[in-house]
Structures are given as structure tokens and as C-alpha cells.
Amino acid sequence: MAPQQLVRAARRRRPSTAHAAADTRHPAVAIAIALPIAVLLLSLFGGWEQLATQTRAVADLIAR
């Protein structure tokens, strides 16, 4: 590797763990973003019946 490439590689290091932790979202934020979209898609495409059917099937399996 040429010296110039070494300098560029050194600049591309991963950020420190303190900085990387500040860039992550809390799981509740992800749920708050995804849940309204999921409800919208379920209502638009008529997935409520399928969801209810699968929920009943899982409940039956757990009850056994």
C-alpha cells in the first residue's frame, strides 16, 4: 500500500463506541414508527381476517 492509501484508511476508522451508541434508536421508537404503518397496510389490504385466523391458530396450539 502506498503511504497516501494508509492515511486514507486511517481516516475511515469506525467511530468510538460512545459515538456509535448515540446513533442507535430505542426499540420503542422503532415500534412507534412501524406499528402505524403495519395497521395501515392491514386495513388497506384486508388483512384483519387473516391476522385473526392466524392468532386463533397460534392460541389453539398454545392451549394444547
Domain count, the chain: 1
Q: Which domain holds residue 51?
A: 3-63
What would you report as the CA-atom Rg of the chain, rounded to the nearest whole angstrom? 23
Structure confidence at residue 53 (pLDDT)? 92
Sequence letter at residue 44: L
Dump pLDDT digits (tens) for 24-58: 889 999 999 999 998 898 888 888 888 889 999 99
Q: Contact 10/4 with Cβ under 8 angstroms?
A: no
Q: What is the pLDDT of residue 61?
A: 95
In degrees, to the nearest 5, what angle opens at C-alpha 28 toward C-alphas 47 and 33?
Answer: 50
Determine the pLDDT at residue 13: 61
